[in-house]
Amino acid sequence: MPVAGSEGEEGPAGSGAEGGGPGSGPAGEQAGPGAPKLCGYLQKLSGKGPLRGYRSRWFVFDPRRCYLYYFKGPQEALPLGHLDIASACFSYHQPEAGAAAAGDEAAAFEVHSPSGAVAVLKAATRQDMTYWLQELQQKRWEYCNNLDAAKRDSRTSPTPSDFSKGLVAKDNPDVSVPSQNASAERARNILAVETSPTDLVGEQAASQPAPIQPSAINFSLKQWSTEIKNSMSSLRKGNNENRKSIFYTTDEWELLDPSPKDLEDSMALEEKRKHLAEGSKGLTSSAFPFDFGRIPHKTRRPLKDMIGSSKRSSSDSSPTEWFSGNGNKLVSELQLKYQSQQEELEKLKKDLLSQKELVRLLQQTVRSSQYDKYFASRLCEGVPKDKLEMLHQKDDQILGLNNQLEKLNLEKDSLQQEVKNLKCKVGELNEQLGMLMETIQAKDEVIMKLSRQLSECEDSTSPQSGAVNSAQAVCTNKELQELDRLKDNLQGYKTQNKFLNKEILELSALRRNAEAREREWQAKYTSLEAKLCQVESKYLILLQEVKTPVCSEEQSPAREVIAQLLEDALKAETSEHPEQAFFKPHLVSEYDIYGFQTVPEDDDDEEKLVAKSRALDLRSLSLSENREISTGVKWENYFASTMNREMMRCVELKNLIRSGIPHEHRSKMWKWCVNLHVKKFKDSTVPGYFQTLLQNALEKQNPASKQIELDLLRTLPNNKHYSSPTSEGIQKLRNVLLAFSWRNPDIGYCQGLNRLVAIALLYLEQEDAFWCLVTIVEVFMPRDYYTKTLLGSQVDQRVFKDLMSEKLPRLHAHFEQYKVDYTLITFNWFLVVFVDSVVSDILFKIWDSFLYEGPKVIFRFALALFKYKEEEILKLQDSMSIFKYLRYFTRTILDARKLTGIAFGDLNPFPLRQIRNRRTYHLEKVRLELTELEAIREDFLRERDTCVEKRDLISDDEEDS
């Protein structure tokens, strides 16, 4: 039956709970962060053969990938699957024979994928179906148009809509983008069908019960494993930090025993499903008396009980339901054989138990006799008689208690077996009760049917004159009903026609856009190929000249080729010609995605060449990583699992963060990590706490403000967000540092805090960056880490030396042999968490793990950096070359995946308790040394005051003051 029109509906599309309908804004406009999610209940057609039917699922649209995920319910952690809406097309579902008359599939539609798969979905009402179709069409249109508008190189300029916070989010270079088809947009708006959702669509629908299909069997072999995982996840609530989880981990973990309430619920669910299956599917359903649904492990029935249940159900029903002819005889023979084998098995079990009891008694007798023999032979010599009798007495008591314990254990086992038997009897009674209820219901239906027939017969015996009038009235009513039905069909056909025309229009426009993208990629590929040919030609000339020079050194073409190649290599790719943005091969841009310069301007040509070579290597690594989409898929699956629940600490999240947070999710994850660590601080503050601190620091005299102003432009001069006094990052950096200096006057400001805040501001807003600094200084690092004495930093360097001697003994001995103090290099690593010490890609991966796990990550990566280059350092045989190499070797490490594998794999075990103990040990030693230095200083001051020759000597601190 065609879909009826939207008669009686109020408001334009998008005016309901969901918004964002066809009439709510221009096409291609991305929904904002606060826009409501497109989600709700739909019925999905799944299964094969007799088990094919509609099952209620909770659907959630993910705008990041244009996927429509479906879960078993709103509270589930793992999706059962997804539909790719970006490459799909929609149509109405043609009902099967017999279903159309009953209106069973009037609100069903189809989602066709390019592979040929068809997903049939059914809404609760036609109005909901129309709303879902309109919204999915709109989401597909917006996503595909945003693909056209986005820059082609995600590494050099990520899509701005992927971010919500931080300075990196505001990077939006001008790009030449083809304008959208205005005529297609106008036609879409004309063909749009105005509709609004019901209560089963939107986030508020999660609090309502799922619509249940009476004849559907909730049974799916394909989704069995996912549903079992969801069942396990729901059983494992409580301390989620210490629990193993189900995402991307091969660790084995024990399933918790279900509570008695869970056992009762699962047994009731099993009985209910079995009744539904037997009542609706007859022969086929009766063949499956066991259930594959979400029943906890401990409530699974053994095979013997399942066979017994099948036998009981088959013996209770009439033989004609199962077999015909000679089949009954075969069944009876098999049942007799099964009963005889069952009796024989029970007899064997009883014999086995009696034999075990006999063996136990014999063993007890042997132990008793050996015990008596031992006492008689060893203890009787020189032992008083009363003590010997007491020992025999105690021995008899022990044996009696052991016998009593064994009897109690046997009674316990028998009681447990009795409880199991009672549960089985309860299950059988429930089965019988369900069958009786079904019989009563069927009889009630027969009675109602006979009652209707009786009333019809009585009405037919009315007077002849009344019969003529009633016949005319019936004919008139039928004609009116037929007229209403035809009008409804006409309106439905009109609505279908408008939707299908709009679908054809959109698919045509999207096909044209895809063809245009293909032509652009082809042009870019041709440009790259031409450039490759030019470079190869120049290299061949250079190699030929180097191999067999035909000219003198002054006249050699090799000099010109080399000069030309160097000039081409050092050219930074700028956006001087934005119209060529689609065709120019973006190998290395002037700035990376974080705003750092790829090739510094102030360096000489040799340094620029090294920097350009490093940038090309990084680009090659990033392209190879982009081809391996496993990490990205894991992150998308994790975020899909958190659509219906909050994020919390778990093993799979830690493993994902260690592999690196994707660029588009880093802002969200950093903010979550910071809030995780400073929640107790933020809960104890009043609203507007950060603004109050900043206002006080600006209005009142602040001793740290002068030093902060001096260090602002020296923070990250090679980052475009902090390169000039007018840069947006400079003002934000100033505000955060001033607010922190007012919050923590003991520290005020220390050189190094500015770099920590500058990195945080790239992905966080001012207030979040302030709390990130609080996390690092007041939660992660020990006290006195950033004070004037830098006591905590000195202690960590000594702890790091101990770890070097333990984890990398050869390298530590090498440094000791040539008297190289490598802590002069590593001191800055710990103080600013590797800022300006490693390449930016590795730096932000370190910060990902650091903000989640804490300061232990710094020790891990510091050791990993030395282990990465251990062999190269061991080849150096003098202290000067070693120290020179240590100053720049970290910038040559580019493979973040290999470095992470060393840090979190090769260096294990790495207990935090060991670091804390060593910090405590070295803290006392450093404090003692500082006390001795202070005493020497005081002696020097007294001697200087008394000695005339030394009065003109002043210290560095006195000179600064």
Q: According to the 3-state scheme, what is the secondary structure of 472-500?
A: HHHHHHHHHHHHHHHHHHHHHHHHHHHHH
Q: What is the DSSP letter of 462?
A: S
Pick from 683, 907, 659: nearest CA to 803: 907
Helix spans in 548-629 (H): 557-569, 605-627
Q: Which of 198, 218, 226, 206 is nearest to 54 (CA)?
A: 218
406's CB contacts (< 8 A; 6+ apart) are 360
- The radius of gyration of the chain from alpha carbons, rounded to an integer in Å, stands at 40
Question: What is the rounded average pLDDT of the residues 121-150?
Answer: 83
Q: Are 58 and 210 in contact (CB under 8 A)?
A: yes
Q: Which of 136-150, 186-200, 745-759, 942-956 has the highest mean pLDDT?
A: 745-759
DSSP string, 829-884: HHHHTTTTTS-HHHHHHHHHHHHHH-THHHHHHHHHHHHHTHHHHHT--SHHHHHH
Q: Are 43 and 55 in contact (CB under 8 A)?
A: yes
Contact 173, 157 (CB under 8 A): yes
Cβ contact 36:17 at 8 Å:
yes
Helix axes 689-699, 728-743, angle to 10 degrees: 90
Residue 195: Cβ-neighbour burial (10 angstroms; 0-12, 13-18, 19+):
buried
Least confident of 328-337, 673-682, 768-777: 328-337
> How confident is the model over 83-101, as a mean pLDDT?
75
Residue 384 tokens, joined: 């008083």
**Alpha-carbon separation of residue 369 from 319, 364, 373, 397, 636 (angstroms):** 63, 9, 6, 15, 70
What share of the chain has pLDDT > 70, as a percent? Answer: 67
Return the H-helix or E-strand segment holding 686.
Answer: none
As a whole number, mean pLDDT of residues 577-594 equals 59
Dihedral sign of CA atoms 512, 516, 521, 526 in order: positive
What is the 3-state composition of the chain as percent helix, strand, coil, each rounded to the nearest 5? 60, 5, 35
pLDDT, tens only, 498-518: 778 777 877 877 777 778 778
Tokens for 228? 């079992």
DSSP state for residue 720 in the 8-state scheme: G
pLDDT of amino acid 310 = 44
Q: Identify whether the C-beta of residue 111 lies closer than 8 Å to the C-beta of residue 83.
A: yes
With left for phi above 0 and alpha for psi between -120 and 50, is residue 838 left, alpha or beta?
beta
Question: Which of 521, 431, 505 lies closest to 148, judged by CA?
Answer: 521
pLDDT in tens, 444-486: 899 988 988 888 877 776 555 565 667 777 888 888 888 888 8
For residue 45, list its beta bridge partners. 54
Peptide bond into 258 cis (omega under 30): no
Strand, helix or coil for residue 596:
strand
* Whole-angstrom distance, CA of residue 846 vs CA of residue 825: 18
pTM of the model: 0.57
Category of 193 on φ-ψ map: left (φ > 0), alpha (ψ -120 to 50) or beta: beta
| Buried residues in 717-737 as b, exposed as e (16+ CB within 10 A) | ebbbbbbeeebebbebbbbbb
List Cβ neighbours of 602 (8 Å cut-off, separation of 6 or more).
Answer: none
Distance CA 585, CA 62 (A): 31
pLDDT at 688: 92
Quick one: tokens of 562? 């080399």
**Which pLDDT score, from 0 to 100, does residue 31 have?**
41
In this structure, of 125-139, 258-272, 365-379, 594-608, the range with the lowest mean pLDDT score is 258-272
CA distances from residue 48 to 54, 107, 293, 825 in whole angstroms, order as listed: 11, 21, 17, 67
Name residues whose C-beta falls within 8 Å of residue 877's C-beta, 6 or more positions apart in sequence: 818
Ranking 569-583, 755-769, 873-887 by mean pLDDT, the lowest is 569-583
Tell me the pLDDT of the chain averaged across its residues.
75
**Residue-level pLDDT at 406:** 86
Position with higher pLDDT, 527 vs 322: 527
The residue written with tokens 């219906």 in the block is 644
> Residues near 380 by Cβ (< 8 Å), separated by ≥ 6?
388
Under the banding of pLDDT at 50, 70 and 90, the label for residue 76 is confident
Q: What is the pLDDT of residues 829-850, one digit of tens each?
A: 999 999 999 999 999 999 999 9
Helix (H) or strand (E) holding 315: helix 303-316
User: What is the widest separation between alpha-carbon atoms in the chain?
Assistant: 145
Confidence of residue 75 (pLDDT cuts 50, 70, 90): confident
Model confidence at 138, in pLDDT bands (50, 70, 90)?
Answer: confident
d(CA 907, CA 864): 8
Residue 405 pLDDT > 60: yes
Best CA proximity match to 233, nearest among 213, 253, 209: 253
Question: How many CA atoms does the CB half-sphere of 287 hold within 13 Å?
Answer: 7
Residue type, 626: N
Distances (CA, A) of 277 to 19, 50, 222, 286, 833: 40, 11, 18, 7, 62
Grouping H, G, I as helix, E, B as strand and the rest as coil, residue 781 is coil
- Measured between alpha carbons, how far is residue 522 from residues 490, 510, 533, 535, 623 in Å? 48, 18, 16, 20, 19
Which among 213, 261, 224, 223 is positioned nearest to 108, based on CA atoms?
Answer: 213
**Burial call 111-143: b when 16+ CB within 10 Å, e when fewer:** beeeeeeebebbbbebbbbbbbbbbbbbbbbbb
318 neighbors 437 (Cβ within 8 angstroms): no
Tokens of 23: 């009439």
CA distance 648 to 417: 42
Q: What is the pLDDT, as a whole number, of residue 300? A: 43
What's the pLDDT tens digit per position in 285-337?
A: 333 333 333 334 444 444 444 444 444 444 444 444 434 445 567 778 888 88
Strands of the 108-112 sheet, one edge to the other: 81-84, 67-71, 53-62, 39-46, 118-122, 108-112, 89-92
pLDDT at 8 (0 to 100) = 35
Rounded (5°) CA angle 522-526-531: 150
Q: Both ends of the chain: CA-CA distance in Å? A: 90
Residue corresponding to tokens 């101990």: 802
| H helix or E strand, kind and range, residue 209 | none
The secondary structure element, H or E, covering residue 425 is helix 385-460
∠ CA 173-178-179, rounded to 5°: 105
579-584 contacts: CB < 8 A, separation 24 or more? 579/176, 581/151, 581/152, 581/175, 581/176, 582/152, 582/176, 582/520, 582/523, 582/524, 583/520, 583/523, 583/524, 583/527, 584/524, 584/527
756 and 850 Cβ atoms separated by less than 8 Å: no
pLDDT at 930 over 50: yes
Q: What percent of the chain lies above the pLDDT cut of 90?
A: 26
